[in-house]
Amino acid sequence: MSDTDLHHEPGAAAVNEQAANWIERRMRPTWGEDDEAALQAWLAEAIAHRIAFWRLEGAWSETSRLIALRPPALQRPQRSPATSTWSTISKSLAAAVLIAAAGYFASGYITAQNATYSTGLGERKTLTLADGSKIELNTNTILRTATAGDARKVWLDKGEAYFSVKHDAAHPFEVIAQGRRITDLGTRFNVRSDAGQLKVAVLQGRVSFQEKSGSDHIELNPGDVVVAEAGKLSLTRVPTGDLTDRLSWRSGKLMFHHAPLSQVAAEFNRYNGTKVVIAGEGARDMTINGTFATNDVQAFGRIAQTILGLKVDHQVTKQGTRIVISR
């Protein structure tokens, strides 16, 4: 019996309602260790429970603009008991999730059918798919999902996304970006689509990379990074620890190791309205080590001034605010 068939069996509506109730209860300030154990027991009872919960959790993320992945109960700060106002709000949100998810249950794997997800400047978002796979969207990203039967396919129109895929050989997971095709072979991987350049990095498992329709496939293994540009394709090997550092955006950080200031500025500009301009070749070629919050562009300016001895000029222009760094 397929996952799709499960949603047409008698009682599916009741399972969906139970899943929504669990999500609503999980948001209450009184949620504790016993509640978490009861939820896990309910999820273990049947695959239909897990599918309903995963899909509603993904729908909740889009409806209430909350991250679908919540921290464990023991890590949550203690708060006062829930008030009647909170109960009303959370139940209303649960009802909204049921309405929003109504169209999701006709599809096979992905939580939304023909849906588009996006993040703004400096924003991150996590999507949980119905099969347990997760997609983390980085700043200024647009991703589309579409389902046809049990096919799993997404399009990364722009930006960057980290994929943690539940492998299913019978239903390959495909990412289409800039006309190239990335197919999961049991994988954790990152895809970044910039103007004129596509970069794929594999942290775990394997990925099949196809430059264009009809071309040969390249199999990527952990540590492999492929960069595709117009008429050019390069493949390099990077220690997986270094790859993890490069993906520090997943925790809201930017990590640099002997990085030219021009590169550092370009990365900060991906996340912030205040733009950094490095003026002059002498300053652009200087390198820096450090870890910064993605939204703390001012900290970079202070380091450039106090540690590197550079001039830092804060300007307001018609295009917006900017920080000009020079010798």
Which residue is it, tokens 């096919």?
A: 151
Write the pLDDT tens digit of every residue in 228-257. 998 789 999 999 888 888 899 999 999 998
Q: Would you give the DSSP letter of residue 206?
A: -
According to the model, what pLDDT value does residue 94 have? 52
According to the model, what pLDDT value does residue 6 have? 34
Please report which confidence band the pLDDT of residue 29 belongs to, taking 50, 70 and 90 as the band edges: low
Which residue is it, tokens 């920080």?
A: 323
- For 74, the 3-state DSSP assignment is helix
According to the model, what pLDDT value does residue 58 have? 58
Round to whole Å and give the CA distance between 88 and 16: 20
Question: Does residue 50 register a pLDDT over 80?
Answer: no
According to the model, what pLDDT value does residue 216 have? 78
Question: Does residue 42 register a pLDDT over 90?
Answer: no
Tally of CB atoms within 10 A around 234: 10
Write the pLDDT tens digit of every residue in 97-128. 554 444 333 333 334 456 899 999 999 999 98
According to the model, what pLDDT value does residue 80 have? 46
Region 128-151: mean pLDDT is 84
According to the model, what pLDDT value does residue 36 have? 78
Tally of CB atoms within 10 A around 288: 18
Round to whole Å and give the CA distance between 116 and 313: 40
Write the pLDDT tens digit of every residue in 177-234. 999 999 998 889 999 999 889 999 999 999 999 987 667 789 999 999 999 998 789 9
Q: Would you give the DSSP letter of residue 188?
A: E
Spell out where the chain has E strands.
115-118, 125-128, 134-137, 142-146, 152-164, 173-177, 180-184, 188-194, 197-204, 207-210, 217-220, 224-229, 232-237, 253-260, 275-278, 287-293, 311-317, 320-326
Region 148-174: mean pLDDT is 87
